[in-house]
Amino acid sequence: MPAAQTHYISPKTNIPRSPLPLQHANSHIKFIEAGKLPEVKFQELEKEGQKVIIGRLKIPTPGGHAFILRRYDTGAISLTTMFRAAFPAATDEDEKAETSWVKANYDVGTNKDAYRVRLAGTWVAAPVALAVADAYGLDRIVPLLAEAEPEEGKQYRRSGKPVTPKQTPSVAAATLPTPAPSFGSPNPPKRRREASPVVELKPPPSPPPTASPAVRRSPRKPSPAIATPSKPLSKASTTTVKVVKPPSKSTSNRQEPLTPAASDEAVGDDDAPIDVPGPNMHEDIAAQTELIQKLKQEQQEQDSRKAAEVDAMKENETVSKKRQRVEEEEGQYKFEFKEPQNQERAIATNRRVTGFYERMAPERKSAAWGAFAFAAGLGAVTFLPNLLGF
């Protein structure tokens, strides 16, 4: 079982809280003395084939009393019972507004697992209950329930059915054990009522034999009322009527504490287990509808964020492409000024031309010089006469 946590937590959001119905506050809570705080009592609840230990605190209210519950399979405390114990006369709208605010500002969902027993109302973790208890005026009471732990291996009283139906058959069994047959038990009261006026009318006449059979019949007929009046029935008929009536009064007095109206204020009510209702269909439908709306809203927000991110990415891409195009255009038409060169420009030559004479063999060099000299002499012989003739 989870250990009780006693640290307080703060709301997650800044959503304004609906005003609490302080005009309907339970005035009996502030008058509970420190030494007379209610005791946490445990019971075993069986629902949906599973067993859950429930702890309860009895809180006095102007109209009777209320219980604050805690389930020990998850350690959660019932926010619904806290609100109803603190504000017994509050409306359903006030309770719904407070519950929705708590769900929006705290982590609620301690009994949403499929394998957990589903109980009616809103259940919150112990730290959340402690954080809310101060506003409800339960700051002295809820810590008792948050710190209480059931004993390991102890068998607690079981609940799950109303207490009054279990007691009615035992009372009926106590009043019906008579030697007379069961089908004759309802008839004697009618015969007694019919016999009583006959007995009152017969004493004036003188015949005694008529009175004697009446006396003999009376002990035979009131056999269902075995209890005490066997001897008084032998007396006058008027006494028999008086003796028969007191048992009916005693039985009625015994059955009065078993009525539903008196069961809330019975002497042993503190020890009697209470029935914790299961999940309500309307509450489940409302919770499912709220969950669906919340999921839709989250999906819409997620889609809008994705769309905004895509738009931002597209915008960044267009801006980057435009900037790149502008830079390319600026670089294409930009005139670059070159500084004047102070050194001589190197002339590129052919490798085949440069160094040809140096690589020529000596024989070729002499032949080349001879051909050059012959060409020069031939030219001189040919052109000099012409020049001299002018």
pTM: 0.46
Residue 76 or 385, more confident: 76
- The pLDDT tens digits for 130-154 are 988 889 989 888 998 888 888 887 8
The domain ranges of the chain are 22-160+273-287, 163-263
The CATH code for residues 22-160+273-287 is 3.10.260.10
Closest CA to 45 of 101, 96, 120, 140: 120
Backbone angles phi, psi at 389, to 5 degrees: -65, -25
288-332: per-residue pLDDT in tens? 788 898 889 889 998 988 888 888 888 888 877 777 777 777 666
At 82-117, the pLDDT tens digits run 999 999 999 999 999 999 999 888 887 644 555 677
pLDDT value, residue 30: 85
Residues paired with residue 123 on neighbouring β-strands, in sequence order: 78
CB distance 149 to 53 below 8 Å: no
- Of 123 and 163, the structure prediction assigns the larger pLDDT to 123
Within the chain, residue ranges assigned H as helices are: 79-86, 92-105, 126-136, 142-147, 163-175, 187-201, 208-220, 237-255, 260-263, 281-332, 356-359, 362-389
pLDDT score of 364: 85
Q: How many residues does the chain have?
A: 390
Residue 47, pLDDT > 80, answer no
> Is the pLDDT higher at 110 or at 356?
356
* Strand runs labelled E in the chain: 41-47, 50-61, 64-71, 77-78, 123-124, 158-159
CA 125 – CA 106 distance, rounded (Å): 9
Positive or negative, the CA dihedral 83, 87, 92, 97 is negative
Q: Cα–Cα distance between 87 and 85 in angstroms, integer?
A: 6
| Residue, of 230 and 266, whose pLDDT is higher | 230
- Under the banding of pLDDT at 50, 70 and 90, the label for residue 50 is confident
- For residue 118, what pLDDT is reported? 78
- In which band, very low, low, confident or very high, does the pLDDT at 67 lie, cut at 50, 70 and 90? very high
Report the greatest alpha carbon distance in the chain.
Answer: 218
Asked if residues 107 and 121 have their Cβ atoms less than 8 Å apart, the reply is no
Judge whether 44 and 30 are in contact, CB under 8 Å: no
| pLDDT greater at residue 287 or residue 206 | 287
Confidence of residue 205 (pLDDT cuts 50, 70, 90): low
According to DSSP, residue 38 is labeled: P
- What does the H/E/C string look like for 277-317? CCCCHHHHHHHHHHHHHHHHHHHHHHHHHHHHHHHHHHHHH
* Per-residue buried b or exposed e for 107-118, using 16+ beta carbons within 10 Å of the residue's own CB: ebebbeeeebbe
